[in-house]
Amino acid sequence: MKLENMRLIVTGGAQGMGRHFVQRLAESGASVAVGDVQPEGLEAVKESCRGLPGQVFSRPLDVSKISDLKAFVDWASEAMGGLTGLINNAGILRDGLMVRKDRETGEVVTLDEAAWHATLAVNLTGATFMVRETVAKMIATDQKGVIVNMSSIARYGNRGQTSYAATKAAIAANTRTWALEFARFGIRVGAVAPGMIETPMIQGMNQKARDALVNMVPVGRVGLPEDIWEAVRFIIACDYFTGRTIDVDGGLSM
């Protein structure tokens, strides 16, 4: 599929990788509907794309609220004159060990239930129903296209990331499931699994932890949003690609 012909939703598009995807799509001439919980960030990304070949539309979106995402998909389709896909990028981190012992008090501390449910609400339920609503709209309007999900190399398991790993493993598995289900409608589904990428999530790490992770990456550096965009662009462009997850991690093994 040609990027300039795409009419795509990008969730979590106000910062980090999502913002980079919006910029690249607009540069390519695509139409983009950007959703995020950060209104100021939405205005900033829209302003940064002013004058580019593509059109950028923005509206607040909380993917953890089903009614919100349903309204967003309807709005995006109308604003862009149709939908040909989704970059399912919105996500959060709420890390914590399943069970640990407090070093000072010796108290046994367990995984916070609110953090677990918040992570699932955004990363899994929200991502899943974004696919449901987008694909339903595409089928109803007889439009072919592509869904790009964002998984993570954490899906293989990573200490302190029970909730995050669970959601990203599920998204990778359902990428295959949805590819099989949607193929007859001319809709492909692929996923990208980033490793350690230079985003606000990573920038919030303490330097010692960051350095330790970088030392584990065979290519010797943190990935950039552009590295992930290259994989996203491939999935969109290659009409013979579906049902697979591409690891873009610099060779990192967790």
Burial of 15 from C-beta contacts in 10 A (0-12 / 13-18 / 19+):
middle
User: Residue 205 — φ and ψ, nearest 5°?
Assistant: -75, 150
Element housing 52 (H / E): none
Report the SS3 class of residue 85: strand
The Cα–Cα gap between 109 and 100 comes to 5
Strand partners, 192: 150, 246
Give Cα 95 distance to the centre of its chain: 18
Q: Is the dihedral of CA 161, 242, 78, 230 positive or negative?
A: positive
**CA neighbor of 219 nearest in space, from 195, 246, 192:** 195
3-class DSSP assignment, residue 81:
coil
Helix (H, G, I), strand (E, B) or coil at 79: helix
Rounded Cα–Cα distance for residues 196 and 199 (Å): 9
Distance CA 122, CA 134 (A): 16
Helix (H, G, I), strand (E, B) or coil at 95: coil
Catalytic residue among 164, 178, 182, 229: 164
96: helix, coil or strand? strand
Reply yes or no on whether 156 is catalytic. no
Residues tagged active-site:
164
